[in-house]
Structures are given as structure tokens and as C-alpha cells.
């Protein structure tokens, strides 16, 4: 319950940030318009953000016939977790990564890159997909997808403020320095809010995934391998849309550019340490 209260507060902060950017662009009228737009985007995100993210990554849905290895693995883990069978997607990306999306367990989807399918052993991949199903079970997927959509919108709105400026209630141009500051600080603030939402949930999904797969060390081994290889393999779509990085099991921007400094994921070594402790217990 506490996590849901915390998440609700943080999502309200994102909408408030949306309003603050609107205030700089168009005064009180701009703030009201931005808040209405933010509320509308939350509504849109609830129903369509999963489709938008999957389309953004050009994810291809697979079934038992087209990809029996991955599909049957997800089906087995879903049954172990007591979850409905999610839709299964493959993303043609060399970087090893995976994510889950959807508005609830009945409308969930899990996606894995070709890189992670090629790189991990069956045992390690089960650990990863169990982690993603734990996100589904904990109902994290809606929050992460909505926060990604809203953070992207805030960045676009902030860029608009910088390049086109804004006007106050009397129609006078806003101080250009204020517009520049908003363009710089608003996306950073949105990313920090995403970090607050995501980090605790990653630890919980690690623990939940370990319980679903029954093998905490499998996920620990997978995380160690993914981190080692992901840093050297760029993911073009994630670089173009860094707000979606928090949905992945591993930060896809890690070490690739400045956005990697604002990681929405907890330190990998700490995640591994906790999983090893679960095995010891």
C-alpha cells in the first residue's frame, strides 16, 4: 500500500511539473492548458502507451509456432506465478535487454531483444523473464509506462519553451533565461521522479522473479552478464527516447551518454548481492 501511495504522489509530481512548464510558456492560461493536457495524456497512456512503446521499438509479437523457445518459457513461468498468459514480443536489437508493459495483468506484454535471447543460457533467460512477470504481478507495468510517456512529453514541452519562448498573461515575452532553465531542468526533474518510481520496484521485481523461477542465482548471473555486454552495445531507440529506459531490466543508456548518469535502476552489484543472499537463506 505504501508503494502505491508513494507512486501516486510521484505521478502527481510529474503532472505538476507539466503544469510548471506550461506556466513558463503561457502564464496561468498555459499552466491550466498544460495540466489539462497532462491529465489527457494520463488517460491516453492508460489505454494506449503499451502499444506506443512496443511500436517505438518495432517489437514483433510471437507465438508458440513462431518462437516456441521463448513463448513456452513465458507460459510456464506465468503459470508458476498464477498470471494470465501475456503477449510475447521480440525486439530486433543486439543489446541484451527486456521489459514488460501493459495496463494490468490481463492486458500485459513482455518483450525480449534478440541480443538477450542469443546471449543468455536457458536458466538465465528464465530468471530475466520471471523478473518481468514479477513487474506484471506487482502491477508496476502501468506506472512505468505512463511515467515514460509523461517524461517524454515534458521533455518535448520544455524544448518548445526554449526554442519558441513563452508569453505571460499580458502577452509579453517570457525572460529567455527562464525558458532555457526550464528546458534544462524540467527533463532532469522528470528523470529524477522516474528514478524514485523505478529503483525500489526493481528490487521488488528481482525478489519476486527469483521466487517465480525458484532460482535467485539465475537472475543474478543474468544481470552480471547483461551489464557486462550492454555497456558496449548501443540501443538506438532507447537513445532517441531515453524516458523509456526505466522500463528495461538493465539501463540501456548505461555508459553510452550523459543520460546514463541519471540511471533509473539501482546499482547492479547491489541487486546481485541481494539475490545471492536469497540463495544463501
CA 30 – CA 38 distance, rounded (Å): 12
C-alpha torsion angle, residues 120, 122, 127, 130 (rounded to 10): 120
204 in active site: no
∠ CA 249-212-71, nearest 5°, is 70
3-class DSSP assignment, residue 88: strand
Compute CA 254 distance to the chain's CA centroid, rounded to the nearest angstrom: 14
C-alpha torsion angle, residues 115, 119, 122, 128 (rounded to 10): -60
Bridge-based pairing of strands 87-91 and 60-62 is antiparallel
∠ CA 143-214-85, nearest 5°, is 50
Q: Which of 132, 202, 227, 243 is catalytic?
A: 132
Contact between residue 102 and residue 89 where contact means Cβ atoms under 8 Å apart:
no
Active site residue ranges: 132
Amino acid at each position: 500500500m505504501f508503494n502505491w501511495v508513494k507512486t501516486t504522489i510521484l505521478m502527481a509530481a510529474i503532472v505538476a511539473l507539466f503544469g510548471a512548464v506550461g506556466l513558463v510558456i503561457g502564464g496561468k492560461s498555459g499552466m491550466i492548458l498544460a495540466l489539462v493536457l497532462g491529465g489527457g495524456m494520463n488517460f491516453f497512456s492508460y489505454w494506449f502507451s503499451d502499444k506506443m512503446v512496443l511500436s517505438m521499438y518495432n517489437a514483433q509479437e510471437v507465438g508458440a509456432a513462431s518462437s516456441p523457445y521463448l513463448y513456452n518459457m513465458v507460459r510456464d513461468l506465468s503459470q508458476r506465478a498464477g498470471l494470465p498468459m501475456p503477449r510475447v514480443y521480440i525486439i530486433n536489437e543486439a543489446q541484451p535487454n527486456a521489459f514488460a508493459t501493459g495496463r494490468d495483468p490481463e492486458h500485459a506484454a513482455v518483450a525480449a531483444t534478440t541480443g538477450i535471447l542469443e546471449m543468455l543460457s536457458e536458466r538465465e533467460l528464465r530468471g530475466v523473464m520471471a523478473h518481468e512477470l514479477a513487474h506484471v504481478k506487482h502491477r508496476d507495468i502501468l506506472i512505468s509506462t505512463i511515467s515514460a510517456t509523461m517524461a517524454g512529453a515534458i521533455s518535448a514541452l520544455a524544448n518548445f519553451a526554449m526554442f519558441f519562448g513563452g508569453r505571460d498573461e499580458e502577452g509579453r515575452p517570457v525572460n529567455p533565461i527562464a525558458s532555457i532553465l526550464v528546458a534544462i531542468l524540467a527533463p532532469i526533474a522528470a528523470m529524477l521522479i522516474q528514478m524514485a518510481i523505478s529503483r525500489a520496484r526493481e528490487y521488488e521485481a528481482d525478489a519476486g522473479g527469483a521466487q517465480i523461477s525458484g532460482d535467485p542465482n539465475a537472475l543474478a548471473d543474468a544481470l552480471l552478464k547483461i551489464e557486462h555486454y550492454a555497456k558496449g552495445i548501443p540501443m538506438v531507440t532507447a537513445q532517441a527516447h531515453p524516458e523509456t529506459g526505466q522500463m528495461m531490466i538493465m539501463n540501456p543508456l548505461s555508459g553510452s551518454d550523459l543520460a546514463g548518469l541519471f540511471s533509473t535502476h539501482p546499482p547492479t552489484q547491489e541487486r546481485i548481492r541481494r539475490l545471492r543472499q536469497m540463495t544463501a537463506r
